[in-house]
Structure 1
Amino acid sequence: MNSSMMLKKATYHLWTFTISKLISSFGSQVYSFAISFYILQATGSAKSFALNLICNVLPRTIAAPFAGYIVDKYSRKTIAITSQIATTLAIGGLLVVSVTSGLSLTAIYITSCILSLTSMLSGVAFTSSITGLVDEARIQKAMSLNQMSISFAAIASPAVGGLLYGVISMPLFLIVYMIASGVAIVLESTMNFTLFSKQKPESVEKESVWQGMKAGVSYLKLQPLLMTIIWIALLVNFLFSAFQVGYSYILIEKLKMASQHFGFTEGAFAVGMLLLSIYYSVRKEVKFPLLVAKKGILVMGAIMGGTVFPLLVTMPYNSMFAYYIILELGLGAIIMIINTPTQVMMQKQIADEFKGRVFSIVETIAMALSPLGMVIYGFLYDVFPAEWVLLLTSGLFVGVVLILARPSVIRKVHPELSVEKGLKKRAEAY
Structure 2
Amino acid sequence: MEANLSMQPNRQVLSHPSLWKNKTFKWILLGYIFSVLGDRFHSVAISFWVLKETGSARLMSIVLLIHISMSLFFGAFAGTIADRTDRRKLMYRMDFIRVLFVVGIACMLLFPFQEFRFGVIILLISLTAFAGLFQAPASQASLINIVGKDQIQKATGALSFADNIAGITGLSMAGFVVAALGGASAIFIDALTFLISGLCVLAAGKFPSPIHQNKERKSFLSDLKEGIQYIFKNRFVRCVALINPLLILFYLTSLLLIQVLAVKEWRVSSIEFGMLEACVPLGYMLGAFMIMRIDQRLRKRGWLILGSMALLGPLFIAISFVQSVWVGLFFVLCHGFIFSYCTLLVMVIIRLKVEESIQGRVFATLGSITSVVPPLGLIIAPFFADAYSASSVLGVTGILFFIVALCFLLWLKPVRQFE
Which TM-score applies when normalising by structure 2? 0.85
Matches within 5 A, 1:13-412: 13-101=24-112, 104-192=117-205, 194-195=207-208, 200-203=213-216, 205-209=217-221, 211-285=222-296, 286-310=298-322, 315=323, 320-406=324-410, 409=413
CA distance in 2, matches of 1:176, 1:376: 36
Q: What fraction of aligned residue pairs are identical, expressed as a percent?
A: 18
Q: Residue 83 of structure 2 contacts residue 359 of structure 2 at CA under 8 Å; is this kept in 1?
A: yes
Compared CA separation, residues 178 and 239, structure 1 to 2 (3 A): closer
CA distance in 2, matches of 1:368, 1:407: 24
Q: Residue 131 of structure 1 contacts residue 196 of structure 1 at CA under 8 Å; is this kept in 2?
A: no
Displacement of 1:386: 3.9
- Return 5+ residue gaps in structure 2 as ranges: 1-12
CA deviation vs aligned residue, 1:319-350 (integer Å, no higher than 9, x gap): x2212322222122112122222211110100
CA distance in 1, matches of 2:218, 2:170: 44
CA deviation vs aligned residue, 1:302-326 (integer Å, no higher than 9, x gap): 222223113xxxx4xxxx2212322
Displacement of 1:49: 1.9
Compared CA separation, residues 268 and 60, structure 1 to 2 (3 A): same
Displacement of 1:288: 1.8
CA distance in 1, matches of 2:34, 2:48: 21
Displacement of 1:221: 3.8
Q: Residue 16 of structure 2 contacts residue 148 of structure 2 at CA under 8 Å; is this kept in 1?
A: no
Compared CA separation, residues 235 and 307, structure 1 to 2 (3 A): same
Displacement of 1:383: 4.4
Displacement of 1:148: 1.5
Q: Residue 231 of structure 2 contacts residue 241 of structure 2 at CA under 8 Å; is this kept in 1?
A: no
AA aligned to 2:309 is I
Q: CA RMSD in A?
A: 3.0
Displacement of 1:293: 0.7
Larger radius of gyration: 1
Partner SS state of residue 299, structure 2: coil
AA aligned to 1:110 is L
> How many residues of Structure 1 are paired with residues of Structure 2 in the alignment?
404
CA deviation vs aligned residue, 1:349-407 (integer Å, no higher than 9, x gap): 00112211211221111111112333343444344554443323322212222222228
Compared CA separation, residues 276 and 376, structure 1 to 2 (3 A): same
- Return 5+ residue gaps in structure 1 as ranges: 417-430
AA aligned to 1:262 is F
Task: Please say which of residues 272-281 and 401-410 is displaced more in the overlay.
Answer: 401-410
